Amino acid sequence: MYLMRIGPAGAEKPGVRVGDGSYVDVSDIVPDFDEQFFATGGVSLLSAAVAERVASGATLPLEGRRIGSPVARPHQILCIGLNYSDHAAETGQAAPSEPIVFNKAPNTLVGPNDTVHIPRGSEKPDWEVELGIVIGARCRYLADEDAAREAIAGYVLVNDVSERAFQLERGGQWVKGKSAETFNPCGPYLVTPDEIPDVLDLGMWLDVNGTRRQKGSTSRMLFGPAHIVHYLSQFMVLEPGDLINTGTPPGVGMGFNPPIWLQPGDVMELGIDYLGEQRQSVVAAP
């Protein structure tokens, strides 16, 4: 199933993509794709209703409609750093023996095609195409990776936009370089695990102004989704609807010589197999 949220920012309604360019509105069945929805097994409850509406022709066109983040504002956004061996190499850092964990402010979450704001005082804004995990059940001290897989509601495409000067040159707190407004475009849809043949074999890419900057595969992840969810559950409680960004492949702006930083007027386009594509214009923060 492909879960979407359609409509103006702050007034999105839940829907399910049912084919190229069309979706079914399910806002009369569930109020939103939020913590309550995932905690009560909402995905399975939608299947029959969606099938009935498709059969009756009750579909709507996506064209001309804004697509929001496929999940409502989560309890937390957690991130894994240096999770691709080739990305660690381009930054000159050793591959970690355990996941590097940091967080982003939950209000960074925006739609997949929304404008990205370069924050005031920014010197080194950067891009990062990433696989996102959405948690589907409350997780604490999970027994093993099988239990972790059962707790995953689905996967999303995210752009972990970063400000490297804030992240690396302002006291060592990564969260400062990750939490500016609009710094987490997400979507266009949440894809349930049954729709993905192998989450550890997904091609991923990102272009800036039509030039390919990132190209990689989730096969190069040091720590896969099940490992990450199990690992995090040993240190904190994960709530339904929480989002985990799992790291980026090589080709980020800071990895070039000289580095390449985002500028107002730039356009980022990115995608991951089975998870769709995004497009963001970059502007200076008002």
Number of domains in the chain: 2
**What are the mean pLDDT values of the chain's consecutive 10-residue runs (286 residues total)?**
97 95 96 96 89 92 97 97 83 86 97 98 98 98 98 98 94 90 98 97 98 97 97 98 97 96 98 98 97
The residue range of the domain holding 61 is: 2-67
Looking at residue 95, its pLDDT comes to: 84
Looking at residue 22, its pLDDT comes to: 96
Enter the pTM of the model.
0.96
Whether residue 161 is found in the same domain as residue 50: no
* 98 burial level (CB within 10 Å; 0-12, 13-18, 19+): exposed
Whether residue 107 is found in the same domain as residue 151: yes
Whether residue 236 is found in the same domain as residue 150: yes
Whether residue 272 is found in the same domain as residue 230: yes
SS3 percent helix, strand, coil of the chain, rounded to 5, is 20, 35, 45
Rounded CA-CA distance 245/135 in Å is 11
Chosen domain end from 67, 88, 112: 67
Q: What is the CATH number of the domain that holds 198?
A: 3.90.850.10
Whether residue 79 is found in the same domain as residue 7: no
Q: How far apart are the first and last CA of the chain?
A: 37
Cβ–Cβ < 8 Å for 110, 185 = yes
Whether residue 59 is found in the same domain as residue 84: no
Rounded CA-CA distance 250/84 in Å is 8
Whether residue 7 is found in the same domain as residue 87: no
Looking at residue 166, its pLDDT comes to: 95
Whether residue 30 is found in the same domain as residue 85: no
Whether residue 94 is found in the same domain as residue 236: yes
Whether residue 85 is found in the same domain as residue 34: no
